[in-house]
Amino acid sequence: MTTAVKSPYSNEQITAWLRGLLTIAWADGKFDPEEQELITTLTKNELAPSLEWDSLKVIEPEELAAVLGKKTPAADNFVRTAVMVAIANGTYSPSEDQVMQQLCDALEQPKDILESLRHTLDDERQISAPGAISQDALCPLRDWLDGLEIKDPRVARFLCKMIPSQCPFERDITLFGRKIVHIPPLCKINPLYEQLVGLRFRALSYLADECGEDISPYI
3 state SS for 143-182 = HHHHCCCCCCHHHHHHHHHHCCCCCCCCEEEEECCEEEEE
Inter-helix orientation angle 153-162/193-205, to 10°: 140
Q: What is the pLDDT of residues 115-142, one digit of tens each?
A: 888 877 644 444 344 444 555 667 778 8
Its domain, for residue 130, covers 11-218
Look at residue 123 in the predicted model and tell me its pLDDT.
46
Q: For the chain, what is the domain count?
A: 1
Question: 107 lies in a domain?
Answer: yes
Question: 4 lies in a domain?
Answer: no
Question: 214 lies in a domain?
Answer: yes
Look at residue 129 in the predicted model and tell me its pLDDT.
46
Question: 1 lies in a domain?
Answer: no
Q: What's the whole-model pTM score?
A: 0.71
Look at residue 103 in the predicted model and tell me its pLDDT.
94
Look at residue 134 in the predicted model and tell me its pLDDT.
55
Question: 23 lies in a domain?
Answer: yes
Question: 2 lies in a domain?
Answer: no
Residues of the chain with pLDDT under 50: 122-132, 173, 182
Look at residue 168 in the predicted model and tell me its pLDDT.
61
Question: 115 lies in a domain?
Answer: yes
> CA dist 46 to 20, 65, 105, 109, 202, Å?
16, 23, 29, 27, 17
Question: 3 lies in a domain?
Answer: no
Look at residue 61 in the predicted model and tell me its pLDDT.
94
